[in-house]
Amino acid sequence: MFRLSGIGAQLGGFVQSAKDVEAMVAIDGCLVGCAKAILEQAQVTLKNHMVITELGIEKNKNFSLRAEDIARVKSAVFDTCGVKPGTASLTLKTASCCG
C-alpha cells in the first residue's frame, strides 16, 4: 500500500518505492481516475488499475461500507492481479511515513 499523497507530492522515497514494487493495483473510486493520474504524473508504471464504480458500487458520501461491496472489491483486486483467493498469499509492501 502506498500513500498516494506522498507520490502526488513527488516525495522521492514514495515515488521510488512505487516504481520498485513488483505488483500493484491502483484503485480509483470513479472514472475521474485520480489515483491513475497521480501515478502517471509521477512516471510510475501503471501495472494494474481498477475503478470501483465499474464494479456496480455507487459513489456516495456514506462511509458505512457494506460487507458485500468490500468482498466484491477484494475479489476484483485478486482477479486484476491474476491470483485466485486462497491459492497464493499477497505480500503487502508499504510506503508510509506512519508505519
- What are 34-66's pLDDT values in tens digits? 999 999 999 999 889 999 999 999 988 888 889
- Rg (C-alpha) for the chain, rounded Å, is 14
Tell whether 46 is covered by a domain: yes
Residue numbers of the domain that contains 47? 4-81
Tell whether 88 is covered by a domain: no
Question: Between 58 and 84, where is the model more confident?
Answer: 58
Tell whether 61 is covered by a domain: yes
Instruction: Identify the CA nearest to 97 among candidates 35, 18, 21, 11.
Output: 11
Predicted TM-score (pTM) of the model is: 0.76
- What are 8-31's pLDDT values in tens digits? 999 989 999 999 988 889 999 999
